[in-house]
């Protein structure tokens, strides 16, 4: 399609066409004006993989490690590579725009989407996001920085007012966006759901226009988060180009009327449309046709990259007595709730159907040449495990039939509308459509056969956005159709899981029938909750067994095996968009399991998976501890590569892990109260707080061990003469040093550059991260490395009285840290105080 002449096209567009271009037409697509060669563009989630256009029964995709895992790599080259993979995946899914990366700041460990963002620190987050976006956009695909800004909790996220000082807003929450845009001027930015100091961001002119566009000079497209537009005229005037998703609530005839009545000047509407047309031109070289078919890649080189990323994200937290790496030829006991569970991503819009997954048990088993034994220990599920994968169809295939009807099951002679074969018994139907479905109200019969492998009482659970009944051999076991209770699944739309039980015999085959009615059949009061169309369903099952029996079995195995690994942690049930965690603890029973296994075998290796910090009351007793995050497709292989030493761990924590939740600086000010949340910790987020009050966390930001040792020496610092104004030159501060691998195996060291300010008229953090570099070294190898930072970025704080960044005169200490060893120090001087704005 020929490149658009934007100004000529603007002149030829009718008012109705202009209005249409400022809103989506469905969940993923923008409007087209074919008479003027303006195509519809496709967008797709998300931060750790490109799902395509369907939550329900979609085309599988590559799943990257979650953002905190990628943040733990501290590797800009790796982020650039995985960004390029995201670009390829987007093209395969026919998408012009990737809705990521997410770069909000984790001010609390409880944030439901904390796993989606890279770090608690703006420099680390913004730098990694910049290289990630650069990789995406090198493929011709538009990247989208989100959520702009302060979307740091899920509780009342559409309504909450984030009350924050200008200084904290600038120094912590806007900073990652600012730094990312210095590296890669992304084509798109997505506004946050929340308000900032009284005004929703999607209609906040000061944030969208004054800061993003004018101060930073950015000229891309601003879109709303999904259902995150709250006005017509105000949002247009503030600079919100596109309301997503469609069909529009706020534009359409309302916007046309606002223009015709001079409430919105047409030239302002033209500014919004101009940005849409510029995006069309930006992605035009891709050549992706409208409504392109969605394809899977799953290439060998991508699998290798995902495995490398998974391994490089694994943090070695403790390794007393060099218990790690393990020996491949010795027998091993694999224990724990996450061992045979693929906790590969968090929940919500970041989730996707992966090409494949590798569990930790799979990864360990593939490497071990000794015997591999397993004990469950405890279960970590919140809702019962999905039943679908355990079912068989009438003709023997894994899964179950999915039959759709317009009529209620009580009506005779129903007409079958559609029939699918599914394996997963969790489905979000918001993007399921069929031409013979008459309305949002329809009914689905899901039928399969279940053959238990052990006698006992089995629990069955049903969660719905709608209504559901589950039958076994025509006996009603779970009825979730009346007196429904509000739960948190499916973005807060679903019921709680209702359960029932039945005694089953091993080897006997039971017919399972789940009858589902879509969302309009529910009696839940969903006012104030964003509706996602037809709703969703989830049904699961598990044999009932006592926690004590499971732990006792695990302890017996641990006491009789030399090599023991316990896999525990969170899953997408516990960390998900839609709700925040209530506490930092592991799922019930996990701490007791770990404590008792360590008592039976003090050399047991503990491996945790979570996207954000968890409490570890047993940490002092664990000699070896590994944190593995949500590792994507290759999670299990990446973990095993580290445990057996095929990859030397090099990851560093991108988050502080507090001893307990009460130690976190946001503890008294997290969650919405009467529609607002006070950012009372101000600039002291994460390590800035712990260092200021001298309260050591359990594991500090930047912590991570290796199987080798490193030395840092020969520090040199160079500056250039200061100019009159910072805008005239970057004025680099160049830090050079030698890094050597002094140990027995190859490995990577992350050199961290910190700057400690002089005492001035305002309180400031003890020190702040200002730069970093990762270097790979063979045993005995020594390299010279450099970290270059701009003096203004290394020294400034935001002066609210002036409304500008202030770089105050004085002597600034430079600290260089890494894996163990001493801290190297130097200093440089700022000769005179200067003030500045801009990127």
- Tell me the catalytic residues: 225
List, in sequence order, the alpha helices (H) in 400-522: 489-492
Tokens 């031109």, residue? 281
Q: What are phi and psi of 358, to 5 degrees?
A: -125, 120
| Spatial distance between the Cα atoms of 639 and 635, rounded to a whole number of angstroms | 6
SS (H, E, C) 526-577: CCCCCCCCCCEEEEEEEECCCHHHHHHHHHHHHHCCCEEEEEEECCCCCCEC
Which H or E run contains 743? none
Residues 6+ apart with CB under 8 A from 142: 96, 97, 98, 136, 186, 187, 188, 221, 279, 282, 283
Q: What are phi and psi of 594, to 5 degrees?
A: -60, -45
What is the sign, positive or negative, of the torsion defined by CA atoms of 130, 213, 730, 123?
Answer: negative
What is the sign, positive or negative, of the torsion defined by CA atoms of 4, 6, 12, 13?
Answer: positive
Structure tokens at 205: 């002119």
Q: Please, are residues 170 and 122 in contact by the beta-carbon 8 Å criterion? A: no
Structure tokens at 211: 């800061």
Q: Collapse the DSSP code of 502 into the 3-class scheme (helix H, G, I; strand E, B; otherwise coil) and give the result.
A: strand
Q: What are phi and psi of 115, to 5 degrees?
A: -65, -20
Tokens 């950015």, residue? 218
Q: Please, are residues 102 and 67 in contact by the beta-carbon 8 Å criterion? A: yes
Under DSSP, the state recorded for 496 is P
Q: Collapse the DSSP code of 352 into the 3-class scheme (helix H, G, I; strand E, B; otherwise coil) and give the result.
A: coil
Query: Which residues partner with 83 through β-bridges?
Result: none
Q: Please, are residues 406 and 461 in contact by the beta-carbon 8 Å criterion? A: no
Query: Which residues partner with 735 through β-bridges?
Result: 717, 787
Residues 6+ apart with CB under 8 A from 506: 452, 453, 454, 455
Q: For 152-184, b where at least 16 C-beta lie within 10 A, e where not — what string?
A: bbbbbbeebbbbbeeebbbbbbbbbbbbbbbbb
| Spatial distance between the Cα atoms of 302 and 311, rounded to a whole number of angstroms | 14
Q: Collapse the DSSP code of 134 into the 3-class scheme (helix H, G, I; strand E, B; otherwise coil) and give the result.
A: helix
| Spatial distance between the Cα atoms of 58 and 145, rounded to a whole number of angstroms | 25
| Spatial distance between the Cα atoms of 120 and 260, rounded to a whole number of angstroms | 46
Give the residue among 264, 239, 283, 318 at the shortest CA–CA distance from 41: 283
Q: Please, are residues 566 and 623 in contact by the beta-carbon 8 Å criterion? A: no
Q: Please, are residues 350 and 66 in contact by the beta-carbon 8 Å criterion? A: yes
Give the max Cα distance, the chain.
87
Q: Please, are residues 79 and 100 in contact by the beta-carbon 8 Å criterion? A: no
State the first-to-last Cα distance of the chain, in angstroms, to the nearest integer. 35
10 Å CB burial of residue 527 (0-12, 13-18, 19+) is exposed
Structure tokens at 545: 């067994």
| Spatial distance between the Cα atoms of 827 and 767, rounded to a whole number of angstroms | 13
Q: Collapse the DSSP code of 690 into the 3-class scheme (helix H, G, I; strand E, B; otherwise coil) and give the result.
A: helix
Residues 6+ apart with CB under 8 A from 704: 72, 315, 316, 317, 649, 650, 651, 652, 653, 750, 819
């Amino acid at each position: 399609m020929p490149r658009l002449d934007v100004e000529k096209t603007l002149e030829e567009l009718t008012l109705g066409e202009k209005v249409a271009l400022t809103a989506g037409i469905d969940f993923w697509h923008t409007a087209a004006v074919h008479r003027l060669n303006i195509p519809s563009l496709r967008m797709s989630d998300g931060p750790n993989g490109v799902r395509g256009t369907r939550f329900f029964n979609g085309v599988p995709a590559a799943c990257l490690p979650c953002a905190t895992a990628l943040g733990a790599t501290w590797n800009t080259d790796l982020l650039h590579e995985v960004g390029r993979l995201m670009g390829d995946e987007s093209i395969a899914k026919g998408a012009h725009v990737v809705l990521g990366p997410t770069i909000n700041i984790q001010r609390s460990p409880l944030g439901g989407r904390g796993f989606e963002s890279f770090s608690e620190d703006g420099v680390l987050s913004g730098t990694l996001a910049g290289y990630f976006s650069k990789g995406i956009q090198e493929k011709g695909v538009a990247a989208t920085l989100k959520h702009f800004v302060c979307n740091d909790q899920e509780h009342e996220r559409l309504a909450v007012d984030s009350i924050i000082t200008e200084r904290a807003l600038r120094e912590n929450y806007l900073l990652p966006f600012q730094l990312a845009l210095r590296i890669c001027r992304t084509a798109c930015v997505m506004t946050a759901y929340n308000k900032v100091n009284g005004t929703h961001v999607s209609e906040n002119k000061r944030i969208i226009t004054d800061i993003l566009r004018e101060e930073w000079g950015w000229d891309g497209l601003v879109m709303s988060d999904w259902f995150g537009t709250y006005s017509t005229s105000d949002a247009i005037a503030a600079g919100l180009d596109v309301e997503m998703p469609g069909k529009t609530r706020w534009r359409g005839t309302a916007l046309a009327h606002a223009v015709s009545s001079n409430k919105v000047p047409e030239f302002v509407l033209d500014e919004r449309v101009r940005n849409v047309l510029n995006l069309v031109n930006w992605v035009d070289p891709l050549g992706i046709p409208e409504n392109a078919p969605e394809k899977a890649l799953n290439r060998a080189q991508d699998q290798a990259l995902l495995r490398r990323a998974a391994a490089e994200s694994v943090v070695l937290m403790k390794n007393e007595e060099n218990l790690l790496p393990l020996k491949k030829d010795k027998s091993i006991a694999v224990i724990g709730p996450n061992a045979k569970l693929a906790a590969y991503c968090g929940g919500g819009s970041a989730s996707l159907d992966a090409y494949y997954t590798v569990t930790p048990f799979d990864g360990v088993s593939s490497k071990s040449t000794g015997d591999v034994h397993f004990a469950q220990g405890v279960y970590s599920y919140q809702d019962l495990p999905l039943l679908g994968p355990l079912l068989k169809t009438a003709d023997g295939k894994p899964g179950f039939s999915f039959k759709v009807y317009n009529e209620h099951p009580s009506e005779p002679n129903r007409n079958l509308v559609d029939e699918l074969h599914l394996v997963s018994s969790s489905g979000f139907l918001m993007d399921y459509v069929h031409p013979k479905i008459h309305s949002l109200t329809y009914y689905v019969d899901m039928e399969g056969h279940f053959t238990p492998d052990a006698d006992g009482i089995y629990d069955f659970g049903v969660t719905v956005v709608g209504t559901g009944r589950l039958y076994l051999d025509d006996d009603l076991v779970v009825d979730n159709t009346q007196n429904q209770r509000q739960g948190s699944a499916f973005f807060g739309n679903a019921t709680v899981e209702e359960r029932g039980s039945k005694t089953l015999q091993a080897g006997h085959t039971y017919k399972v029938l789940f009858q589902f009615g879509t969302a309009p059949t529910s009696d839940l009061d969903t006012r104030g909750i964003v509706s996602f169309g037809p709703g969703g369903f989830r049904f699961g099952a598990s044999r009932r067994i006592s926690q004590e029996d499971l732990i006792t079995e695990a302890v017996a195995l641990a006491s009789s095996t030399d090599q023991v690994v316990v896999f525990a942690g969170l899953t997408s049930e516990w960390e998900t968009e839609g709700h925040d965690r209530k506490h930092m603890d592991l799922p019930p029973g996990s701490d007791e399991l770990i404590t008792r296994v360590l008592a039976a075998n003090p050399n047991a290796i503990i491996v945790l998976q979570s996207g954000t910090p968890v409490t570890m009351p047993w940490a002092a007793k664990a000699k070896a501890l590994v944190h593995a995050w949500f590792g994507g497709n290759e999670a299990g292989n990446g973990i095993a590569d580290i445990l057996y030493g095929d990859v030397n761990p090099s990851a560093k924590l991108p988050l502080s892990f507090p001893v307990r939740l009460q130690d976190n600086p946001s503890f008294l000010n997290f969650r919405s109260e009467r529609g607002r949340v006070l950012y009372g910790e101000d600039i002291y987020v994460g390590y800035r707080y712990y260092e200021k009050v001298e309260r050591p966390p359990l594991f500090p930001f930047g912590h991570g061990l290796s199987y080798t040792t490193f030395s840092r020496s020969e520090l040199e610092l160079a500056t250039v003469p200061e100019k009159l104004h910072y805008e005239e030159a970057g004025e680099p501060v160049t830090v050079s040093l030698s890094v050597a691998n002094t140990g027995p195996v190859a490995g990577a060291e992350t050199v961290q550059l910190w700057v400690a300010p002089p005492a001035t008229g305002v309180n400031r953090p003890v020190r702040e991260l200002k730069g970093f570099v990762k270097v790979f070294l063979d045993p005995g190898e020594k390299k010279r490395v450099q970290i270059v930072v701009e003096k203004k970025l290394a020294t400034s704080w935001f002066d609210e009285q002036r409304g500008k960044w202030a770089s105050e005169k004085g002597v600034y200490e430079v600290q260089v840290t890494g894996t163990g060893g001493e801290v190297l120090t130097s200093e440089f001087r700022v000769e005179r105080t200067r003030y500045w704005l801009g990127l």
